[in-house]
Chain A
Amino acid sequence: MLRVDNLKIYYFLRDGVVKAVDGVSFIVPDRSIVGLVGESGSGKSTLASGILRLIPPPGRIVDGKIYLDGVELTSLSEEEMRRIRGRDISMVFQDPLASLDPLMKVGEQIVEAILAHEDISREEAIERTYKLLNDVGVGEERFHSYPHQLSGGQRQRVMIAIAMALNPRILIADEPTTALDVVVQRQIMELFNELRNKYSTSILLISHDISLIIQWSDYIGVMYAGELVEFSESRKLVEKPLHPYTQALIKAIPRISGGSSRLYSIPGSPPDLTNPPSGCRFHPRCPYKMEICESKIPEEYNFHGHRVRCWLYEEGIG
Chain B
Amino acid sequence: MISFINRYGVDAYLVISGIAIISIFLFLAIFADFVSPYDPIDIVGEAVQPPSNKYLMGTDSLGRDVLSRLIHGARTIMGVIAVSTAVSMVIGIPLGLISGYIGGIIDRILSVIMDSIYAFPGLILAIAVAAVLGPGIYNAAFAISVVYIPTYFRMIRGHVLSLKESLFVEAAKAMGATNNRIIFRHILPNTIYIITVIFSLNVSDAVLTEAGLSFLGLSVSSPTPDWGFDLRNGQRYLLSGYWWPVFFPGVAIILLALGFGLLGEGLNTILGGEGVKSR
**Chain A residues proximal to chain B, CB less than 8 Å:** 52, 54, 56, 82-87, 90-91, 93, 95, 98-104, 112-113, 116-117, 159, 162-163, 165
Contact of B186 among A90, A101, A162 (CB under 8 A): A101
* Distance (whole angstroms) from the CB of A110 to the closest CB of chain B: 10
Q: Contact check: which of B171, B174, B176, B190 meets A103 at CB < 8 Å?
A: B190
Residue of B nearest to A89 (CB): B174
Fill in one digit per residue for B185-200: 1 if any A CB lies within 8 Å of its CB, else 0. Answer: 1100110000000000
B181 at the interface (CB under 8 A from A): yes
- Of the stretches B2-10, B162-170, B225-233, the one at the interface is B162-170
B60 to A: closest C-beta gap in Å: 51
- Contact between chains at A85 and B173 (CB < 8 Å): yes
Shortest distance between the CB of A47 and any CB in chain B (Å): 14
* A113-B175 contact, Cβ under 8 Å, with A99-B167, A100-B168: yes
By a CB distance below 8 angstroms, the chain B residues around A117 are 176
State in angstroms the CA–CA spacing of A71 and B251 once bound together. Answer: 72
Using Cβ atoms and an 8 Å threshold, which residues of chain A touch B35?
Answer: none
* Docked CA distance A52–B166 (Å): 17
Which residues on the B side are within 8 Å of A112 (C-beta)? 172, 177, 181, 185
Name the B residues within 8 Å of A116 (CB-CB). Answer: 175-178, 181
B168 touches A98 (CB 8 A): yes
Asked whether A101 and B176 contact (CB < 8 A) given A112-B181, A112-B185, the answer is: no
The minimal Cβ–Cβ distance linking A172 to chain B, given in whole angstroms, is 8
Residue among A85, A99, A101, A112 with the highest chain B CB neighbour number at 10 A: A101
Docked complex Cα distance between A159 and B190 (Å): 20
**Sample (26) of A-B pairs whose CB atoms are under 8 Å apart:** A52-B174, A56-B165, A82-B176, A83-B176, A85-B175, A86-B174, A90-B174, A91-B174, A93-B171, A98-B166, A99-B167, A99-B170, A99-B171, A101-B189, A101-B190, A102-B190, A103-B189, A103-B190, A112-B172, A112-B177, A112-B181, A113-B175, A116-B178, A116-B181, A162-B175, A165-B175
Shortest C-beta distance, A51 to chain B (Å), equals 10
Please tell me which one of the listed residues A86, A95, A98, A104 contacts residue B175 in the complex, with CB atoms under 8 A apart. Answer: A86
Give the total number of A-B pairs whose CB atoms are below 8 A apart: 68
Q: What are the 8 tightest A-B residue pairs by CB atom distance, in nearest-first order? A: A86-B176, A86-B175, A85-B176, A98-B167, A99-B171, A91-B174, A113-B175, A101-B168
CB-CB under 8 A from A86, the residues of chain B are 174-177
The closest CB in chain A to the CB of B174 belongs to: A91
* Residue ID in chain B nearest A103 by CB atoms: B189
A92 to chain B minimum Cβ distance, whole angstroms, is 9
Q: Which residues of A contact B178 (CB under 8 A)?
A: 82, 116
Tell me if B189 and A84 are in contact (CB < 8 A). no
Given contacts A95-B167, A99-B168, 12 further A-B contacts (CB under 8 A): A54-B170, A82-B178, A86-B174, A86-B175, A86-B177, A91-B175, A101-B185, A103-B189, A112-B177, A112-B185, A116-B181, A162-B175
Chain A: minimal CB distance from B118 (Å): 28
With A102-B190, A103-B189, A112-B181 in contact, is A159–B171 under 8 Å at CB?
Answer: yes
A91 to B170, CA, bound (A): 10
A56 to B173, CA, bound (A): 12
* A165 contacts across to B, CB distance below 8 A: 175
Chain B nearest CB from A138 CB (Å) reads 17
Bound: A163/B167 CA distance, A? 15
Q: Which residue of B lies closest to A84 (CB)?
A: B176
User: In this complex, what residue of B is CB-closest to A81?
Assistant: B176
A90 and B175 within 8 A (CB): yes
Shortest Cβ distance from residue B172 to the other chain A in the assembled complex, whole angstroms: 7
Name the residue of chain A whose CB is nearest to the CB of B187. A101
Report the separation of the CA atoms of residues A63 and B150 in the bound assembly, to the nearest whole angstrom. Answer: 43
A98 CA to B172 CA in the complex, in Å?
A: 11
Contacts of B174 in A (CB 8 A): 52, 54, 85-86, 90-91, 93
Q: Which residues of B contact A98 (CB under 8 A)?
A: 166-168
Interface centre among B166, B170, B175, B185 (most CB of A within 10 A): B175
B164 to A, closest residue via Cβ: A56
In the complex, which residue of chain A has the Cβ closest to the Cβ of B165? A56
Instruction: Give chain A residues whose Cβ lies under 8 Å from the Cβ of B189.
Output: 101, 103-104
- Bound-complex Cα distance A116 to B177 (A): 6
With the chains together, A113 CA to B181 CA distance in Å?
Answer: 11
Cα–Cα distance between A100 and B186 once the two chains are bound (Å): 10
Q: How far is the CA of A159 from the CA of B172 in the complex (A)?
A: 11
Query: B212-224: contact bitstring with A at CB < 8 Å (1 yes, 0 no)?
Result: 0000000000000
Nearest CB on B from A204, distance (A): 13
With both beta carbons as reference points, the residue of chain B lying nearest to A172 in the complex is identified as B174
B174 CB, min distance to chain A CBs, angstroms? 4
Tell me which of B170, B176, B185, B189 has the highest count of chain A C-beta atoms within 10 A of its own C-beta: B176
Taking the closest CB of chain B, its distance from the CB of A88, in whole angstroms, is 9
Q: How far is the CB of A162 from chain B (nearest CB, A)?
A: 6
Most buried by A among B172, B186, B190: B172
Q: Which residues of A contact B171 (CB under 8 A)?
A: 91, 93, 99-100, 159, 162
B residues within 8 A CB of A95? 167
CB distance from A147 to the nearest CB of B (A): 9
Q: Are B168 and A102 in contact (CB under 8 A)?
A: yes
**Interfacial chain A residues near B177, Cβ < 8 Å:** 86, 112-113, 116
| Chain B residues, CB < 8 A from A104 | 185-186, 189
Give the shortest distance, in Å, between B88 (CB) and chain A (any CB): 24
How far does the Cβ of B73 sit from chain A's closest Cβ, in whole Å? Answer: 39
Complex: chain B residue closest to A85, CB-CB: B176
B193 — nearest CB in chain A belongs to which residue? Answer: A103
